Structures are given as structure tokens and as C-alpha cells.
């Protein structure tokens, strides 16, 4: 058994989908979460910048002697898997488990992928799907406006702006008659009620955060590294706007977290370590 915490990072709020699943499945596990709200979104950045941010986020989490790092960020997982593989501790991103879940779920072989521009450009999810289902047809759609919607709390299923944007992004995938949709950015499940209404009951939504949390559970179990007697404490760190983060996080997680949100100057820390 290993009672050390799990480290989770994301460009902002999206990684809370992993935290929510962890609370549900592994209530004893402690988590240190870093949301890089000061530099969100990652999906519009260049590959070198995304790789640097990923390395800095991992370095910050390692300060807490974490036993595993989860990149709960579709962009970091797609663009910078080499950074995760180079870490001297177990680490995983959202791509492999999510691609496997989509390949298993589809009946028609037509799978849609929505993500940031950087994620879509790598075709990482497409490669993960085709590795398991070579005949699958993968249709990808960059959706750069979804992350700002979530970060600003525009996630109500009745929000007219969110609905209009989602309809515009999802129509090409509807036209292709996909029966499975990967929400390839962990921000996106916060908008899943809108997606479900637009796409209809015949389309299975694959939550990258949920699938990654399940994969992490299996990895810890296989390595006999589950917590024996943890208290399930969650510590949250952000690089900007702690109040806004806490407001949406409390609504999403259904529990108070305000006292556990701290602000860290990630860029300054990285300069100091360099």
C-alpha cells in the first residue's frame, strides 16, 4: 500500500472530472490538484510551450511527493506524452484509456472527437482508436470556444450562447452520423447535457476524465499502491482566479472546497528551479 497522494493537473477546471470520479471510486485517496488558470487555455499554444507548461506542472506536483501524476488535460496528453514518459514515477494522460473506451463503445465504427485545436492537430485520439479498431472512421472537430465557456461558468444546459456554439461545432459530426463522441478535453463533460440534447440518445458520450480515473485506479491496484487508510483530502492549487475556480468547483463536485484552494505563481517557481 502507498498512502502518498495522487497528483493531478489541468490547464484549469477540466481536471475536476478526474477528481469527481476519484471521490466516487476511491474515497480514501488523497489528491493534490493544480489548475493552471493563469495560462489557460493550453490548446491555442505551440507544441514547445505546451511541453514546457506540462513539465512545469509535473515539477510542481512532485514537490508533494505524489505517487502518481495524472495529466487530466487532453492537450498536454496529446502534445507532450514524452514529458510524462520521462518522469521517474507512474504517469498517465487521457488519450489511451479514452480511445480504448470509444473503440469498445462504437457499433457503427463512426467515432467523433472534439478537443482543442492542439489536440485535434496531433490526431492522438484517432491513433489510439485505430490501434484497437483499425476499420474505425474517426471524425475530429476542434472546439476552441468550449474551454472559455467552462472557465467562465457558462455551463447551464439552458444557456443560449453555449447551446448555439455547441450546435455549430457538433453539426459536422451529426452529418457524419457518429454513434460515439469522445469529449477529448476534460473541460467538455461540464457541457455534456448540452451535447447529449443536440446529438440525441443514439450517441454515446465518452468522458476522458472518467476513463482516465478508472485507468489510474487499475494502475494503482496492479502496483499494490492504493491507499490503506487515507482521509480523502483534496488540496487545490491554481495559478490565478482562486475565487472563480472555487465557485465552479464546488458546484461541480457538490462539496465545499473554498478553504482548500491556494494560489501559486507557477512561472516564478519554474524560474527559481531553473
- Would you please indicate which residues are annotated as catalytic (active-site) residues? 73, 185
CA 217, CA 136: separation in Å to the nearest integer? 28
Q: What are the two backbone dihedrals, phi and then psi, of residue 224, each rounded to the nearest 5 degrees?
A: 50, 45
Q: Residue 160: helix, strand or coil by DSSP?
A: helix
Please, are residues 71 and 11 in contact by the beta-carbon 8 Å criterion? no
In sequence order, the β-bridge partners of residue 7 are 32, 69
Per DSSP bridges, beta strands 31-35 and 91-92 are unpaired
Alpha carbons 159 and 5: distance in angstroms, whole number: 37
Residue 164 CA to residue 162 CA, distance in Å, equals 6
Place of cell 473554498: 258
Q: In the structure grid, which three cell numbers stand for residue 104, read together? A: 469498445
The three cell numbers of residue 220 are 494503482
Distance, in Å, from the CA atom of 172 to the CA atom of 165, rounded to the nearest integer, reads 13
Cβ distance 39 to 13 under 8 Å? no
187-188-192 Cα angle (round to 5): 135
Amino acid at each position: 500500500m502507498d498512502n502518498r497522494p495522487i497528483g493531478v493537473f489541468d490547464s484549469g477546471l477540466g481536471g475536476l472530472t478526474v477528481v469527481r470520479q476519484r471521490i466516487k471510486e476511491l474515497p480514501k485517496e488523497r489528491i493534490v490538484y493544480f489548475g493552471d488558470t493563469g495560462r489557460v487555455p493550453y490548446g491555442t499554444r505551440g507544441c514547445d510551450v505546451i511541453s514546457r507548461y506540462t513539465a512545469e506542472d509535473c515539477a510542481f506536483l512532485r514537490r508533494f511527493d505524489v505517487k502518481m501524476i495524472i495529466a487530466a488535460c487532453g492537450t498536454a496528453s496529446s502534445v507532450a506524452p514524452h514529458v510524462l514518459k520521462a518522469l521517474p514515477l507512474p504517469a498517465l494522460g487521457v488519450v489511451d484509456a479514452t480511445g480504448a473506451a470509444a473503440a469498445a463503445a462504437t457499433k457503427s465504427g463512426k467515432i467523433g472527437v472534439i478537443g482543442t485545436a492542439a489536440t485535434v492537430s496531433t490526431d492522438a485520439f484517432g491513433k489510439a482508436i485505430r490501434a484497437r479498431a483499425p476499420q474505425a472512421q474517426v471524425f475530429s472537430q476542434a472546439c476552441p470556444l468550449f474551454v472559455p465557456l467552462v472557465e467562465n461558468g457558462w455551463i447551464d444546459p439552458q444557456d443560449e450562447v453555449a447551446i448555439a456554439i455547441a450546435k455549430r461545432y457538433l453539426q459536422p459530426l451529426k452529418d457524419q452520423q457518429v454513434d460515439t463522441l469522445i469529449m477529448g478535453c476534460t473541460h467538455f463533460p461540464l457541457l455534456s447535457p448540452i451535447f447529449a440534447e443536440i446529438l440525441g440518445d443514439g450517441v454515446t458520450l465518452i468522458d476522458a476524465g472518467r476513463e482516465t480515473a478508472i485507468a489510474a485506479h487499475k494502475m494503482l491496484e496492479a502496483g499494490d499502491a492504493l491507499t490503506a487508510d487515507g482521509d480523502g483530502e483534496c488540496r487545490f492549487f491554481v495559478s490565478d482566479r482562486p475565487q472563480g475556480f472555487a465557485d465552479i468547483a464546488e458546484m461541480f463536485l457538490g462539496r465545499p472546497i473554498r478553504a482548500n484552494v491556494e494560489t501559486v505563481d507557477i512561472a516564478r517557481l519554474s524560474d527559481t528551479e531553473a
